Amino acid sequence: MNKYITAYYDDEEDLLRGLKQIKAKGIEVADVLTPFPVHGLDKALGMSRSKLTRVAFAGGAVGAIIGFGFQAWVFTQAYPLNFGGKPFFAVPSFIPVTFEMAVLFAAFSMVFAFLISNKIGPGAKTVIHDERITDDRFLLVVNVQDEENAHTIEAVLNDAGAHGITLIKKN
């Protein structure tokens, strides 16, 4: 059974201050939900830089190679035609399709990598803590191992200025 504690904050500065206090006590934070991006939250959570840029580069490189290779094969091997005396392997004429294939593969690889890394998309199981979470409040979600730990975490959250502290048990 999964247990976690949710705690609300009204202000992003209170959230960051509370998050730092909680992390200083050695408590593991599972997630933070906010109505808008909060500057410094990624550093406070200890998140690393996104790897989507590397995925985009790799996808773009694969797309460019496939696009260029397919055109080279078609115009030199599969269906060579003489267009006004131009050579069969005319690299400048391959550039637009090569670029478009690079963009297409980069975009699709980024979308799929994003969906997979964040465990979202079709068939994903979502947890809705409260329907009004991101309207005007900030939510901190903390994993709980046992009941004694839960009381300690609740006390730390109270000291950190949180309100609406709730213990949730999910099967």
* Displacement of CA 69 from its chain's centroid (Å): 32
What number is the average pLDDT over the span 146-169? 82
The backbone region for 119, taken as left when phi is positive above 0, alpha when psi lies in -120 to 50, beta otherwise, is left
How many Å apart are CA 89 and CA 71, to the nearest integer?
Answer: 9
What domains sit in the chain, N to C, each tagged with a CATH number?
A: 2-35+137-170 (3.30.70.120), 52-117 (no CATH)
- CA torsion angle for 82, 85, 91, 93 (degrees, to 10)? -80
Query: Shortest CA distance to 157 belongs to which of 170, 167, 147?
Result: 167
Q: What is the pLDDT of residues 14-45, one digit of tens each?
A: 889 888 888 888 888 888 888 888 888 888 88
What is the pLDDT confidence band of residue 171, given thresholds at 50, 70 and 90? low
Q: What is the pLDDT of residues 100-147, one digit of tens each?
A: 999 999 999 999 999 988 888 777 777 666 677 767 888 888 888 777
Structure tokens at 105: 């593969």
Helix (H, G, I), strand (E, B), or coil: what is residue 110? helix
